[in-house]
Amino acid sequence: MSSSHLPQFDSNHLAMDRTWLAHERTLMAWVRTATSMISFGFTIYKFFQFEAGKETSRRGLLTPRDFAMLMIGIGVISLVLSAISHRREVRELSAQLGGRRSMAEILAGLVSVFGILVMLSAIFHQ
C-alpha cells in the first residue's frame, strides 16, 4: 500500500487533535465527579427517608435531607458550568477539525437532566 492513499496529517493537526481529546477527557472527569455527587446525595436522601419512621432530632445546621439536596445541587451546577466552559474552549477547535461533535457534551447534558430529575424527586417527595 502506498503512502499516497493514507491521509496526510501535519504536526499542527495532530496537536489540535490531542488538545481536543484532552478537553474531552477533562469534561468526562467532571461528568464522573458530578455523577458521584448526585448519586451520593440521592443515596443519603433515600437512606434517611427510610429511617424517617424512627425518632430523629435535628442537630446542627443541616438535616440529612438538606445535605443531600446540597450535594445534588453542587453536582448539577458543577456539571453545567464545566459543560459551558468546555463548549467555549472547543468551539474554534471543533471548526478547525471538521466540525466534530463532542460525545462528552452529550453525556454531560444527559447526566445534568438526570440530576435535575433527582433534585425534583427529592423536593416533591418529602
Read off the pLDDT of residues 89-100 as tens digits, 9 standing for 90 and up: 888 888 788 878
The helix/strand/coil state of 1 is: coil
pLDDT band at 48 (very low <50, low <70, confident <90, very high): confident
Which residues in 67-103 are b (16+ Cβ under 10 Å) and which e?
bbbebbbebbebbbebbeebeeebeeebeeeeeeebe
Read off the pLDDT of residues 104-113 as tens digits, 9 standing for 90 and up: 999 999 999 9
79 or 126: which leads in pLDDT: 79
Amino acid at 36: S
| HEC sequence for 9-64 | CCHHHHHHHHHHHHHHHHHHHHHHHHHHHHHHHHHHHHHHHHHHHCCCCCCCCCCH
pTM above 0.75, yes or no: yes
Which residues in 21-58 are b (16+ Cβ under 10 Å) and which e?
eebbeebeebbeebbebbbebbebbeebeeeeeeeeee
Mean of per-residue pLDDT scores for the chain: 85
User: Residue 86's pLDDT is what?
Assistant: 94
Handedness of CA 80, 89, 101, 32 (dihedral sign): negative
Question: How far apart are the C-alpha atoms of 101 and 27, rounded to whole Å?
Answer: 14
